[in-house]
Amino acid sequence: MTQAQDQVVFRHELDVARLRPYWWRPKVRILIVTDGSGSFDETESFGLGMVIAELRNDPWWWVRFEVVTAHRSSGAVADHTNFRFDTPPVALAGFDQIWLFGVRSAPAMPPAEVAALRGFMDGGGGVFATGDHDELGAALSGDLPRVNAMRRWRSGGPAGSPPPQSGPNRHDTTRAGSSPGYQFDDQSDNTPQRILPTRYYDPFRFSVFHQRWRPHPVLCGRNGLLDVLPDHMHEGECVAPTASAVAADPALWPGGVRPEVIARARVEEHTNDDGHGFVAGKTFGVLSAYDGHLAGVGRIVTDATWHHWFNINLIGFDRSSAHYDKIRNYFWNVALWLAPESKQDELFSASVYGLLWLQPFNELLVERRGPQLALGFSGVDALNRRASQCVVNDWVLAKLPALMRKELFRRPLPEPDPLPFSAGLETVREQVVGAILASLREQFDPFDPPAGPPDTDLVAKLVARGVAQGLDAVLETEKRGLAQCRSTLELLDRSCQQR
């Protein structure tokens, strides 16, 4: 870490830990593992130093990402070297997620290590995995259950053969930079590729003329859609197993929950000037995700290439640019979304609790004593100005009764039928957040924060009470709406009979 970045980290921690000791910042522990030429340096091309610096300087008051590094080789520079998952120097259970940046294609991971990682995932731990073209990355990730079905790792593998390094069928997402043509160095400039996030339509806001949609939470940013990534001349490919394959192996895919491709990348037909030659235009899966929380196991994200993360592909961006802000927001989102279900619960409670002393929202919190829905609208707006705009949706969904989640908010996408239930997810979300804030306000003074860390058990109880009160409010609103609909239908019926 450079002196300047060390000072940034220190100022960030000083601001939060000393000036605002009353905030609750749950720790999310991430183990990042690489092999071969991968490193954690900030200057090496295949280094992850820039990503780690961004993780340590996230902008949110309700989470702190703690990164531990490990390398498979004995001579590397990392917190842990010669790392093996079956005999780790620190227990895997002490981490919330494991990120795998495999560079080597062989040898295959021994069964004992695969079993250790399978146990981590089945216990709720999150996993991120990536490689590059051909079989790069297969040594670290190509044999992991679920992960090996979400990306093409090996020729003849369960997900199919990976794309090649050269030739017209490679996955070349390079975009021309400031100089004419397509060169190797274009991957290191400030021109990203644009990706195509999968659209998830809202069944409660659906008509022939208007469809509201949102991206997957991993691609939902502080300032809107995350639709750019660094470019590269030969990426891998992410996929999703078929419904029949998932149904055929319930032990591997409990509950029938299926991974999905959450974004596609575009290859523009062109000829590369550095010897890679002509490439045909196409689209391919660039990111895939598995919401294991719906099945009681850990979540997974796979990426088509580590070139979306390595220093060589980030060094050309102006750190203050909108493009770079989207890219680092993607890094933060992966770390946030992969956190285990119990940790997500803590993060939600901590985020809403922190709103009590967020200026100028705390003034509104004291002044606004009216409907919970209005309070929730303002609270969600305050969170969305800082957090990724879909994260609150995800948190509230996790708080809803299982039957409600399944039948009302987990409809097949992307072609939903309009549903009769009038309260869309946004309304439920705002009722719940409003009730939580009202519950917290009864216990804490927004103008007089505690002198030290919060009583997290008390906060969790107040949040749970608010969730229950918010859902009761939704139910009462729906009952009133149903009565009004019946009255209107009776009036229409009488009117039609008098024609």
Mean pLDDT of 383-400: 85
Between 20-34, 215-229, 368-382, the lowest mean confidence (pLDDT) is in 368-382
Q: Tell me the per-residue pLDDT of 118-135, one tens digit each, with 9 for 90 and over.
A: 999 999 999 999 999 999
Q: Is 237 helix (H, G, I), strand (E, B) or coil?
A: coil
Q: How many percent of the chain have pLDDT more than 90?
A: 59
Q: How many percent of the chain have pLDDT more than 70?
A: 88
What count of other Cβ atoms lies within 10 Å of the Cβ of residue 108? Answer: 14
b/e 445-466 (16+ beta carbons within 10 angstroms → b): ebeebeeeebeeeebbebbebb
> What is the reported pTM?
0.89
- Residue where the block lists tokens 């906060």: 459
Of 426, 427, 431, 460, which is closest to residue 443 (Cα–Cα)?
Answer: 460
Residue type, 343: K
Q: Tell me the per-residue pLDDT of 50-98, one tens digit each, with 9 for 90 and over.
A: 999 999 998 898 999 999 999 999 989 999 999 999 999 999 999 999 9
Q: Tell me the per-residue pLDDT of 39-50, one tens digit each, with 9 for 90 and over.
A: 999 999 999 999
Average pLDDT of the chain is 87
CATH 3.30.70 fits 3-192+230-339, yes or no: no
**pLDDT reported for residue 324:** 96
The residue extents of the domains of the chain are 3-192+230-339, 344-492
Between 255-259, 344-348, 425-429, 451-455, the lowest mean confidence (pLDDT) is in 425-429
Q: Tell me the per-residue pLDDT of 415-445, one tens digit each, with 9 for 90 and over.
A: 445 445 555 677 888 899 999 999 999 999 9
441 vs 451: which has the higher pLDDT: 441
Q: Which residues pair with 66 in a beta bridge?
A: 29
Q: Which residues contact 338 (CB under 8 A, 6 or more apart)?
A: 96, 97, 126, 127, 128, 298, 299, 300, 301
Q: What distance in Å separates the CA atoms of residue 70 and residue 52, rounded to the nearest whole number? A: 13
Per-residue confidence band for 411, with pLDDT thresholds at 50, 70 and 90: very low
